[in-house]
Structures are given as structure tokens and as C-alpha cells.
Structure 1
Amino acid sequence: MSNVEYRKLQETKSGSYLVSLPKGWVTRMGLRGGATIMLMEESDGSIIIKSGSVEEVEKPNVAVVELDENVGREILGKYLIGADIIHIKAPRRITLEQREKIKNTLTALVGTEIIEEKSNEIIVQCLLSPLAIPIKTLLRRAHILALQMHIDAITAFRDKDEDLAQSVVKRDDDLNRLYFLIVRQLRAIVQNPRLSEKAGISLVECLDYRLVARALESNGDQAVTIAKSAMALKPYEAPGDVIEGLLNLSDIVRKIQEEALTALFKLDTKHAENYVKRELGSKAQSLMEQLNQRILEQPSTMAFYLNEIANSLRRIKENCIDIADLVVKP
């Protein structure tokens, strides 16, 4: 439990202010007169005091992972919480299969490199600084990638293009890598308020951008579902009006995503509410209701996969409406 103490603020003749530090804390930290301490002001107005200079405090964040059947999940978890160096240790020799599993995990994590390998230990370092790529740049990249996956998945459905559908499925790995990087950087900013100031992003914005990133990653998953359904529908001839309806719905949903992201980055609340949610959202809802009835009239197997496409478009639309709901002027 934290100890709470109250100290009086003292004003000097020169106009500066002083407050004494608890003697017990100074002793435990091994400090003495003339030592350097670091003060960090947080967004809520509180101040954090740390012993040592900036160089001493900012040591690499080292994490240890014990090798077991969940090693991939453990590595991902350490990466997401901002570990700079990850030691993967085993009680005995690491097998070739285990090494391959570790390396496959690292391919999904941007900026990670194996810097040392021993018979029973692998050391991984993340070489990417939390501020190396601006968060908004990463979000725009995720938006473009998810949107293009959607476009190509619907095109594959329309043209019965299995190769294009397969490429959409493969690109989901790229979107996942980008998503993990965004989460890592947002967590780093939340854990270190000084990074928030440097990045020009408030802690509240970090929470919103985390939700945006999750929505865009989900949109990529829905594009994969559309692509897989397109491959399954290749032997079938769907009615022309159903195909046209799904293509029209796709156009509206893509527009909702584009305009929701535009409103988010411009902080345009009117655009988000009046155009994205009311106008485009209503159009999409009306078209979905019309399509549902026609899809149910089709043979069972065809109806199942057509419904999968319609549902994926609905989920993309809902994700983007959620993004529009985050648009609030500070």
C-alpha cells in the first residue's frame, strides 16, 4: 500500500518554491545532497519523482520468457507491453522446432531481431523507437491496407478471381503486424507521459486510437471472410440483382470508412454525425434489409456464403460507425 504524506510548499525570497522529500525515501534510494532526481508532470497535473538522471532512469525494458508450449503468446505479450529486450530461456537445449516457432512469431512483430542465440537461450531486441513512426501515420496505413483488402475481396467475388481472393487472405498478416505495432507504441506512450508530449498525443487520444486500430484490424478480418466466401461461391451462379446489391453495399461501406477516418483526423464532428452516421449509415442499413430477404430465397449453400459476405459488410460498417462516434472536439 502506498504511503501518503502531506508537505507544505515553501516560497523563497527569489520567488521559487521548495518542498522537502521524505527522509526515508531519500535513504532507500541511496540519495544525498547534490544528487539528481527527475520530475515528470502527468496530464492530470500530478508529478512523478524518480531517482537518478534521465539517462539512468531510461534503461532498456528487459523481459524474460520461459520456454513452453505458449511461448509465441508470451513473446507477443512482452512485445505489446513495450519490452525492449526479451530473453527466451529453456531448462535444456532449444529444439529446431521450437526455434522455428519463435522465429515465426517474430515475423509478426515489427522491429524485432534475434541478437544472440545459445543452446538454451534466445535474446530478442526490438530496434524500433516508440516515436520512430507517428501513430497517425500508422493508423492511416492500417486504414488504407484494410480498405484495399475490402476492395479486392469484393472484386474477387464479382470476377470469381481466386488468386485475388488468396492475396487478400495473405495480406491479413501485414495488417496484424501493423496492429501489434500500433498497440505497442500506444502502450509505450501511456506508460511514459513524456512520450505523450513528444508525440503530440494526449492519453485520452491514445485510448481512442487503440479502439480505431482494433476496428481497422477487424475490418481486415471481415475482408478475409469475404474473400474466403468468394472462393466458396466460385462454382455457383448467384442472381445478378443480389450481386449488384452486395457491390452497391460495399461501395457505401467503403465510403463510410473513408469519411469516418477523414472526420477523425480533422475532428469534424458535424461530418461524422450528419454525413457518416445519418446519411451513409442509413443508406447502408436500408440496402442490407433489402438484400437479406433476397439472400434467404437462394439455395442453402449459396445463401450461406452470400450471407457471410453481407454480414461482413455489416460488421465493417458498424466498426466505422464506432470510429465516427469517437470524433469529439477537445
Structure 2
Amino acid sequence: MSQMMEARKVQKVGYSTLIVSLPKDWVEQVSLKQGDIVTFRREPDGGITVYPGLTRERENFRYVIDADICDAPNLLTRIITANYLTGHDTIQIVAKKELSQRHLEEVRAVSRRLTGLGIVEQSLKSVTLQSFVDPTKFPIYGLMRRLQIILSSMLETGVKAVVEGRPNLAEEVLHMEEEADRIYWMIIRQLLLAVLDRRVAKEVGIDGPMHVVGNRVIAKSLEQMGDLASHIAQEALRLKGDVKGVDAKLSKGILDFSDKVRLLIEDSFNALMKGDLKKSNDCIERVASCEQLERTLTTDIMRSVKAVNLAVGLRSIVWDVGQMAKYSEAIAEVAINRHLEAPSAFCAWEKA
């Protein structure tokens, strides 16, 4: 979407009414027609922002959760999380008598897991959580870049933990997953707020509603990769260094496979950020070679590893790495779709 400024002359109609015409390309883009309503927002710097349709300022509410009916495991956690994701800043958990120990533990755990959410008031019957996050301070692509960097590190560290038999590295991956989860939930919150408030969308770098959908696909793909890397670390802990007796060639093959997929993830995200259609296409083509390498490694594991538990564990790890390659394909597909939102050398636009 173009961000350039445009000057328009103020015209006078009748004795006192002043009017300014709307840019034709913008009117066509948002499908405005005669009789439609637009909303004006007065900005602190004296400017005015125009939005198509009715746009209202968000009202301040306190969102009260009845803990007494949250009797299923983790139900309270999920309701608090959902409130946070939908942009509810003040969340109160109440009980008629006293909050149970289980509910208090859930409240504390979820407040640690979600960025900027803290306990501001507490009594025997209620706890109030407050979000102190200013959404405009967290650009969406910066958050996604941080998540991509963390999961790439998780993949590299997790596979090293397996091949080198180092459980301390696996534990580090599980700590990294906690940070990855916090960033993921923050991304989802930003996307939902962008849908509700056009000003927030603009501030965090989202150009339009279609980008919200595409960014949701990207964020979920990155989050799924993080879960797969975490599973690799869990397998490393379960195997407890048993892989030290595995054939060196097989161990190197698993490491090389991990490096190949890690580079694919990084390239697909970089292609998205740079709007590089050719690079995105190349990333999609590389997924097939990763699938072939996964099958080759699986065959080698089944043939050369005699211990059943070890073979199953290594097969699971190779499968996890292969799935990460497939999730990178979704990122590349979004990048191609986004490139075609405007005319280019690849695809010209002609009126029918």
C-alpha cells in the first residue's frame, strides 16, 4: 500500500461549507460509493485520519471471569489467555467464597507466560490482572523475526543435544520454547487488535486485512516449528546419550539435514521480508529435496540402528525436522501471494 502524502486544495461550497475530495484510487481500493459513511479521527498533531465505514474508539471494560464455574482442568488458564489475545487489558477473576489454590496457581502461571500481563490486585475472593502492553511499540514483523531466530536456534541446539548426547543443551531448548511461546501469543494479540483498530494495524506495520490472514498463517507455522524443536529436545532427554554409539556417518547425516532445513527456514522468511518471489519459489522447490533426504535417513536408521527404542527416537527426530521444512513452505507461499498484491514484472494488471 502506498504511504506517500498527497496535497489537495480545499474548496468552498455554499456560504460556509468547506470540502476536500477523496483520492480516486483510494476510493476504488476501499470500494466507497456515494452515500457511504467515512470516519474521521482527530490526531494529537492536528491532523485528521480518514477511515472507510464506522470506526469507534475502544471502550474500557473490566472483564470478569467466574472462577467457580471454571472447574475443568486448565479452563481458567484458557479463558484468561483468550481475554489477553482479544485485547482485554483488565481481567478480574472472582469467586463467591475463596479462590482455590489450583485457580491461584493457574493465574500466576498464565501471568508469567503472557508478555506484559501482571497481577495488580489480589484478595481471598478475587485477583485482577492488568496488561501493560502498548501494542504500537511491538511491530509485527519484528516479533515474527524474533520468533524465527529463536526457533532456528532451538532446531540447531536440539539436534546437537541428540547427536552429541548432551542433555544440558536439550534443557536449554525447553527454556527457549517458553520465550518463543510468549512472542507467539504477543503476535496473535497484535493481529487481533489490528482487526479491531485500524490505527493499531498501521502502527504495527500491517497494510491491510489480507495481511492479517497471511501473518496468522506465518505465525502459526513458526509456532508449530517451535513445538517440533521442543519435541526434539524431549527426545534427546529421553534417549539420555544413547546415540553416542550410532554410526558417525548417520549422525553427520542428521546434523546436515538439520542445517539444511534451518537454512530453508531462514531463506523463506528472508524472501518474505524482501518480497523476493523467485527466492520464495526456490524455497518451495527445496522442500521436495528435504522430503527425499528424510526418507533416506529413515531407511538408514531402520537398517543400521538395532536398538528399537533408539531407532524409534531417531526416526521421530528426523520426522520432526522434515515437518519443519514443510511449515517453511507455507511461509514461502504467503510471500508469493503478497508479491502479487500489486502489478510487477511477473504479473501485469490489465483492465478487462
**TM-score category of the 2 structures, normalised to the smaller one:** 0.7 to 0.9
Report the CA distance between 1:12 and its aligned residue.
Answer: 4.3
TM-superposition CA deviations, 1:222-266 (whole Å, max 9, x none):
111111222333224222222121111111100100101100111
Take 2:135 and 2:223, find their aligned partners in 1: how far apart are those partners? 20
TM-score (normalised: structure 1) = 0.82
Equivalent pair of 1:39/1:47 in contact (CA under 8 Å): no
**Alignment partners' CA distance in 2, 1:49 and 1:150:** 43
Contact 2:232 2:317 in 1 (8 A): yes
CA distance in 1, matches of 2:169, 2:55: 55
- Which residue of structure 2 aligns with residue 32 of structure 1? none
Equivalent pair of 2:114/2:186 in contact (CA under 8 Å): yes
Aligned counterpart, 2:219: 213
2:242 is paired with a residue of what secondary structure? coil
SS at match of 1:316: helix
Shift of 1:118: 2.1
Instruction: Tell me how far 1:196 sits from its aligned partner.
Output: 1.8
Q: Does the Cα contact within 8 Å between 1:246 and 1:310 map onto a contact in 2?
A: yes
- C-alpha distance in 2 between matches for 1:282 and 1:199: 35
RMSD: 2.5
Partner Cα distance (2:328, 2:120) in 1:
40
Superposed CA deviations along residues 114-147 of structure 1, whole A, max 9, x for unmatched, are 1111221111110001112111111111011111
Which residue of 2 is the match for residue 182 of structure 1? 187
Q: Does 1:277 align with 2:284?
A: yes
Gaps of 5+ in 1: 1-10, 18-36, 51-56
Greater shift in the superposed pair: 314-323 or 238-247: 238-247
% same residue: 24
The aligned residue for residue 111 of structure 1 is: 116
Matched, 1:151 2:156: yes
1:250-269 to structure 2, matched below 5 A, reads 250-269=258-277
Partner residue in 1 for 2:349: none
Gaps of 5+ in 2: 1-11, 21-37, 42-50, 342-352
Question: Which residue does the alignment assign to 1:242?
Answer: 250
The reply to whether residue 65 of structure 1 matches residue 37 of structure 2 is no
TM-superposed CA distance for 1:112, in Å, is 0.7
Alpha-carbon separation, structure 2, partners of 1:209 and 1:188: 13
Normalized against structure 2, the TM-score is what?
0.77
Pairing 1:17-36 to 2, within 5 Å after superposition: none
How much does 1:58 deviate?
3.7
Secondary structure of 2:135's aligned partner: coil
Residues 49/127 of structure 1: CA separation in 2 closer, same or farther (3 Å cut):
closer
State which of 82, 85, 91 in structure 1 corresponds to 2:87: 82
- Secondary structure at the aligned position of 1:83 is classed as coil
Deviation for aligned residue 1:178: 1.0
Cα pair 1:61 1:82 within 8 Å, conserved = no
Query: d(CA) in 1 for partners of 2:202 and 2:235?
Result: 45
Please give the residue correspondences for 1:6-45 in structure 2 after superposition, counting only pairs within 5 Å.
Answer: 12-13=13-14, 16=19, 39=40
Counterpart mapping for 1:194-233 below 5 A: 194-201=199-206, 202-233=208-239
2:140 and 2:205 in contact (8 A); partners too: no
Give the counterpart letter for 1:251 in structure 2: D
Between Structure 1 and Structure 2, how many residues are aligned? 293
The answer to whether the Cα contact below 8 Å between 2:97 and 2:125 also exists between their aligned partners in 1 is yes
Cα deviation, 1:34-54, whole Å, max 9, x if unaligned, reads: xxx9547xxxx841154xxxx
Q: Distance in 2 between matches of 1:139 and 1:188?
A: 16
Structure 1 contact 154–247 (Cα < 8 Å) conserved? yes
Aligned to 1:305: 313
**Is residue 137–residue 204 contact of structure 2 (8 Å, CA) maintained in 1?**
no
* Cα shift at 1:289: 2.2
Write the deviation string for residues 29-81 of structure 1: whole angstroms up to 9, x where unpaired.
xxxxxxxx9547xxxx841154xxxxxx3433432211123211110111111
The 2-side partners of 1:325 and 1:105 are apart by 33
- 1:6 equivalent in structure 2: none
- State the alpha-carbon separation in 2 of the partners of residues 49 and 178 from structure 1: 28
